[in-house]
Structure 1
Amino acid sequence: MGALTKAAQAEALIRRYFQACNDADHQALLDCFTSNAVHYFPPGLPGAPWRGAQAIADGWVWCVKTMGSRWTIEKVLASSDGHEAVIEWTHWKTALGEVLRGDEWYVFNDDVTRIAEIRAYYASPVNKAETVNKLHDFDYEARGYAMAPPSPPPKLS
């Protein structure tokens, strides 16, 4: 089997990142980012943006421990040169009974081995009165999106 294309390499890195998030694997998360990476979020998230691999890893491990967070990747589109990609995702906050859907734009380092930047966009404003935050009248199930978390959150101490 030949080497991965740059686009496939970018997608594999994103999938590795999401697996590290779901596993709450701090070291694996660090390994996905440049040391000075930045993760931007829509307004309202305390402490955002998260600056640096350490802050990003700490943030996602905290989410798993505190909110029972689980994530699924719904769609991936990577540029042919592998330097940028966009995805659709679902964030399952199992301990809160909430679901958030959105998109992220990724920028990678030159050899597409680490994430340098993520810009997150939510599908809709977070409405705490709703258990599932989503686009109005969009049929997620019919389009093949995950309708449940990928697995229970890991037991963390």
Structure 2
Amino acid sequence: MKVILQRVNRASVKIDDNLISSINKGYLLLVGVLDTDGLEEIEYLANKISKTRIFEDENSKMNLDIQSVNGKILSVSQFTLFADTKKGNRPSFAKAGEPEHAKLIYDQFNQALRDRGIDVKTGQFGADMQISLENDGPVTLIYDTDQK
């Protein structure tokens, strides 16, 4: 699995100009899944992300996790995180997980975050979505379970 985490002041997802989900302070997660991903990857990422301390404390130090600031998560599936751009000018997405498996892992990942007490909103798996965000910092982290 690969997750791009962006600390945001606000984020939203629309489909055909219809608002699907939105959050204020928290994380926008872009989530990519491989066919080899399973419970181990889900638990690893849910644990890391729920405990990541990148919100500022009273001394302006990044020392607080998402729950300490009553933050929320907007989680969006994104198979393009596994694009192969080595050859030519058109990316290949052959490495990305098959949709049925990827949706199952994506749903289980979001539930694992909820099980840790975090309010998680989502986009719509497989849809063409328009994402808006105001990145805070900017702070952007990349999590890749192949590099844990």
TM range (shorter): under 0.3
- The structure with higher relative contact order (CA 8 Å, sep 6+) is 2
Task: Point out the structure with the larger strand share.
Answer: 2
TM-score (norm 2): 0.24
TM-score (norm 1): 0.23
